[in-house]
Amino acid sequence: MHENTSDNTNSTVGTAAHITTPKLTWTEVLSGEREQPYFRELLDFVESERRTGTVVYPKNAEVFNALQCTPFDQAKVVIIGQDPYHGPNQAHGLCFSVKAPTPPPPSLVNIFLELEGDLGIARSKQGDLEPWARQGVLLLNSVLTVEEGKPGSHALRGWERFTDRIIRELNDHGSHIVFMLWGAYAQKKGAFVDRAKHLVLEAPHPSPLSAYRGFLGCKHFSQANDYLLQHGLVPVDWRLSDHL
């Protein structure tokens, strides 16, 4: 498995490029982590699983898709998921997101339902959230790979340490970033985020099991955009392609 955490230097997200000073890249801030023995062992494990015929999601080229779509210096919103979807034609490296023609899974349906209630954006029929990522919304799972049909199968292999480092670098080097922490898992993972430097929004997970306990009605999307505007940053256009 070959790691690819290169930055898309051609991406433009308006004034969002001013969030971090100086302009750093994922390669720079994660270089020390990628050299740690645990990380090489992690990549070797995933590569070995694929080589022996185990189906692992997402495909190799999309494991680091969140970092590829959202350069470090342009991240202005962070949404934290747990691990990738474990069914075929779902996971593609962005948390909660699925590529067409796969219909939005239940949690994403509830995210769209909240968008509709919060900002009046009609529910999207497709679930590819890459347009958000290209605007600076880091869609980061805590664990970046999973075996087909076995949720949580790659947990505690090292991904959590790696993604903790991602969040810590954003916390330390960024300013005025919105962290959306949905559910106890994400809230625990983002507990160290500096509330004096960033906006932390917490709500229950959008899963059908918990969305009605406070996710629906949380108005995180409008709160995020209001905060970005207050700090001179470009708000996120939360509409997807079928709205444009």
- Catalytic residue list contains 7: no
Most distant CA pair in the chain: distance in Å? Answer: 52
Q: Within 13 Å and on the Cβ side, how many CA atoms surround 233?
A: 29
* String of DSSP letters for 30-97: HHHHHTSHHHHHHHHHHHHHHHTT--EES-GGGTTHHHHHS-GGG--EEEEESS---STTT-SSSTT-
Cβ atoms within 10 Å, residue 137:
27
Catalytic residue among 7, 44, 73, 83: 83
Residue ranges of the alpha helices (H) in the chain?
26-34, 37-51, 65-69, 106-119, 130-134, 159-173, 184-189, 220-230
Q: What positions carry a catalytic annotation?
A: 83
